[in-house]
Amino acid sequence: MRYSNKHNQIHEELNIWSAFTDLMSNTFMIAMLFLLVAIIKSVNTQTHLSQAIETQKQNAPPPILVIEDKGAYRFASGSAEIPAIMDQYIRNKIVPQIEQHTQQYKINVVEIIGHTDGQGNGSVTSNLDQNLEKVANATIPVNQLKAGSNADLGLMRALAVVQVLRNIQKTSNRLQGLNFRAYSAAQLILPDGNFATVNRNPDATRRRIEVRFTRPGAPIKVE
């Protein structure tokens, strides 16, 4: 009788331990399930956050790169010929920035805009009407153009930068798929984006080349 009681006691203890083990196993499985759900939610959250950040980057306006007309990067007065050190600056500093921003913002058009100050450009007779296309097609160099106005000079300097970029495009695997456009703002636009008042004094802060990134849409005719 004693043996039977002892046997029953041991059997009950084993049953309790088995039930406890099952309980712990189930608890562990539930905990793992919650952990897995939390990990999935975290991954989804991170994915959505990354997508939102990427979308925000693409929708945000791209930056404007500025080549200031100062120091070793200055054009000679009235000239659009690029100094050798400025050529290297464009290749080593500006080109990587163009590649980075065109990829980041999914852009294929790069606008180069020449800005001057308000000094008069003398009494030179412009020959841009006769030779502008030849320069754009690299048939003749920019330095054969003669600027009759600041509008001419700004365009000539923009074209000079475009020629450097196109040359890099043709002779290397860089800047592929990009279109470059040259424009002139002459002395009209200040660095802060506002229209300039009349000022015929030399002002290095206004002389610059701006590199802008655009996504051109299809032209429409407004009637």
Which pLDDT value is given to residue 52? 56
23 and 73 part of one domain: no
81 and 167 part of one domain: yes
Angle formed by the axes of helices 150-171 and 95-104, nearest 10° = 80
pLDDT tens digits, 64-82:
999 998 877 788 888 899 9
Which pLDDT value is given to residue 6? 55
Q: Which long-range contacts (CB under 8 A, 24 or more apart) does 139-143 make?
A: 142/80, 142/81, 143/79, 143/80, 143/81
100 found inside a domain: yes
Strand duo 179-186 + 109-115: pairing: parallel
Q: Mean pLDDT for the chain?
A: 85
CB 151 within 8 A of CB 187: no
89 and 182 part of one domain: yes
Answer with the residue of higher pLDDT: 141 or 48. Answer: 141
Which pLDDT value is given to residue 10? 53
Q: Taking residues 189-195, report their average pLDDT.
A: 94
Answer with the residue of higher pLDDT: 48 or 88. Answer: 88
Which domain CATH number covers 155?
3.30.1330.60
220 found inside a domain: no
Tokens in use for 101?
């921003």
221 found inside a domain: no
159 and 85 part of one domain: yes
Tokens 């470059």 label which residue? Answer: 180
CA 105/CA 126 separation, integer angstroms: 38
**Count of domains for the chain:** 2
pLDDT tens digits, 139-188:
998 889 999 999 999 999 999 999 999 999 999 999 999 999 999 999 99
Give the residue numbers spanning the domain of 33.
Answer: 1-60
- What does the buried/exposed string (b/e) look like for 159-193 if buried means 16 or more CB atoms within 10 Å of the residue's CB? bbbbbbbbebbeeeeebeebebebbbbbbbbbeee
51 and 120 part of one domain: no
96 found inside a domain: yes
169 found inside a domain: yes
Predicted structure pTM score: 0.73
CA 45/CA 66 separation, integer angstroms: 38
